[in-house]
Amino acid sequence: MTAETGSLHSASLRSGRRRQRSALVVAGLMAITAFLWSTPFLWTLVASFRPETAGGIGMASLLPDYIPTLDNFRNAFESGDFAVYYVNTAIVAFGILAVQIVTISLAGYAFARLSFPGRETIFYVFLLQLMLVPPILIVPNLRTIVDLGLYGSLAGVMAPYFASAFGTFLMRQTFRQIPRDFEEAAVIDGAHWGQALWHVLLPMAKPGLIAFSLVSLMAHWNEFLWPLMVLNEPRTHTLTIGLATFALSTEGGREWGLLAAGTLLVMAPLLLLFAIFQRQFVNSFMFAGLKG
Amino acid sequence: MTSVAAAQAPFDASHARPVSGHRLQRRLLPWLLLAPSLLLLAAFTYLPIGRVAWESLHDKPHATGKTLFVGLGNYTALFADKAFTQSVANNLIYAAGTVPASMALALLFALAVQRATRFNAIMRAILLFPSMVPLVAAASLFFFIFLPGVGLFDHYLAKLGVRGANWLGDPDVALWSLIGITVWKNAGYYMLFYLAGLTTLPGEVLEAATIDGCNAWQRLRYVIVPLLAPTTAFVLVIALINVLTQVDHVIVLTKGGPSNSTKLVLYYIYEQAHENFAYGKAAAASLLSVSFLLALSVFSLKTMERGAHAAS
């Protein structure tokens, strides 16, 4: 009996040790992968603080073997109008989000709480838009924007995104999870649907709203092709257009430190947001699947 | 609810008018709430599809400026254009190069970092970070990384004694360089879905497999992968959409070159419309892309609910 349990014990110890060893191997492999995966960012960080070198020699080094300088950032700001790009990008990303929150809350409420003929069909009309992501329709949408007289304006960049099928879907799900009792209590107290939505449902839907906001902000902060087609003047350019122009101009000049600094400037707000909201980001994007 | 209101009405005759007014309002309310979204969806999703369909059947030659019905003329011109057929071929290679690789990596990453430890939290963040930055920013970093001779890649490959390539300038290599960027950028994002999928796996099934003597590979092959099929279908749809809708790196790094080797379909559309003003061809190609996505959506509407369920 004792011998038996003893051998069992040692067997489980052995397999435990084996598991520990394989866990260590996996951790080691992961650390290597993570290092390889992050080299582009490590390089950006190291290169952007590197003093200018002749002809880009030594630029590839990942070792910060220098006295850090902010020259690259200063030059980037001077040659690239990054301040203007920041403002434009913020207007676009937050402007879209502000309108979206209104449209998706109203539509989400209608789908979650009201019954009306054709509800299922119309919901499918919304869902289909999840597939027909805007980039595929850039050509006809650009003509619509021209027809509306919005060509060249930030409003033209924003307009196609003011409604969001994904956001509507998300708000519908979120509202459905809130028990009806809460609003019914409010309605009995004499509130109409708008007050119930504003004072009862929306505050309770905060997690869904935060998830949507993060996904939407990120999608539109990062967007490139559509703004590139709509905006025709440097003073209206967004960060991604600015960076692309910048990249094409520095390529000739071989000012890699400058390009690294410019790229870091574009990524920095996202890096910061991600660091603060990492948990929400992970949850939101898992929920999102399809972007903004 | 309505039956209660109807039952109360006769007792409250003095309120008959307000009640019917209220009822009208109730009937209109859903449409008022949906109106902004429906108008916008119509203007920027559904009407544009009609518009490309119409434009793909018409032409407006510069000489006359008159719009002519040309039947399938734009489509025959499209398929006669070598740049287009090559862009389709490129897109197929691009899909074959990016989708399976990024999905397989995503699953491996998810398996490796699934346990909630501090080390794994950092690993997840690192793997996820490429998908958080703009594709344009990633592309501009790879400008230098892929630089022949002095770039990051060649610099470190030389230390390993490997000769680099002209990563973006060689027609045989350039598309694969873009594929590399895409896999690097998207694998971490797809990992999130597998992480979510893994949490839904029944623990007792995995334990039973282990007790029955399955090794790690067998567990993965015969238990985990089949159970994750809904997640895989969901990720596949997203990956295929990305294949067709992301060309920012092409615009920044190669402009479709060298010799059309990195021209993807959406880049071709962009080029035809924006640079050549060949709206007929651009519309025809757009409609073909839209049709592909619609076909994909028929497949995915079935899997989406399951996938979204698994993801939440």
Three-state SS for B192-236 is: HHHHHHHHCCCHHHHHHHHHCCCCHHHHHHHHHHHHCHHHHHHHH
Alpha-carbon distance B144 to B154, whole Å?
10
Give the pair of three-digit tokens for residue B170.
């060689």
Partners of residue B123 in chain A, C-beta under 8 Å: 30-31, 34
Alpha-carbon distance A208 to B306, whole Å?
19
User: What is the Cα Rg of chain B in Å?
Assistant: 27
Give pLDDT tens digits for B10-34: 444 444 444 456 777 778 899 999 9
Domains of chain B in start order, with CATH, are 2-56 (no CATH), 76-311 (1.10.3720.10)
Q: What are phi and psi of B146, to 5 degrees?
A: -90, 5
CA distances from B90 to A146, B80, B239, B274 (A): 32, 16, 16, 21
| Residue A225 contacts B, CB cutoff 8 Å | yes
A247 and B273 in contact by Cβ < 8 A? no
| Residue B123 contacts A, CB cutoff 8 Å | yes
**How many other C-beta atoms lie within 10 A of the C-beta of residue A170?**
24
Alpha-carbon distance A42 to B129, whole Å?
12
CA distances from B205 to B113, B147, B208, B223, B232 (A): 20, 50, 5, 8, 19
B251 and A225 in contact by Cβ < 8 A? yes
- Amino acid in the structure at residue A2: T
- pLDDT at position B278 is 84
pLDDT range class, residue B127, cuts 50, 70, 90: very high
Which residues sit opposite B76 in a β-bridge? none
| Residue B11 DSSP one-character state | G
Give this prediction's pTM. Answer: 0.85
B273 and A139 in contact by Cβ < 8 A? yes
A165 and B41 in contact by Cβ < 8 A? yes
- pLDDT at position B12 is 42
Alpha-carbon distance B266 to B282, whole Å?
9
Partners of residue B154 in chain A, C-beta under 8 Å: 60
- pLDDT at position A37 is 93
Give pLDDT tens digits for B54-82: 989 988 776 667 788 888 888 999 999 99
Residue A222: name the closest of A171, A273, A162 by CA. A273
Residue B40 reports pLDDT greater than 90: yes
Alpha-carbon distance A240 to A266, whole Å?
7
Partners of residue B55 in chain A, C-beta under 8 Å: 140
Q: How far is CA A195 from the centre of its chain?
A: 31
pLDDT greater at residue A12 or residue B196: B196
Give B 228-247 residues with CB within 8 A of chain A: 234, 238, 241, 244-247
- pLDDT at position A15 is 65
- pLDDT at position A129 is 82
Question: Of A124-138, A144-158, B142-156, B291-305, which range is least confident?
Answer: B291-305
Residue A149 reports pLDDT greater than 90: yes
Question: Of A106-115, A125-134, B121-130, B227-236, which range is least confident?
Answer: A125-134
Which residues sit opposite B69 in a β-bridge? B58
Mean pLDDT computed over A208-215: 86
Which residues sit opposite B68 in a β-bridge? B59
Range list of H helices, A58-113: 71-80, 82-113
- The SS3 call for residue B68 is strand
Nearest chain B residue to A109 by CA distance is B33
- Over pLDDT 70: what percentage of chain A? 88
ipTM: 0.84
Most confident of A101-105, A234-238, B22-26: A101-105
- pLDDT at position B174 is 94
Contact A47, A59 (CB under 8 A): yes
Alpha-carbon distance B105 to B158, whole Å?
26
Beta-carbon contacts below 8 Å between A and B:
262
User: What is the Cα Rg of chain A in Å?
Assistant: 26
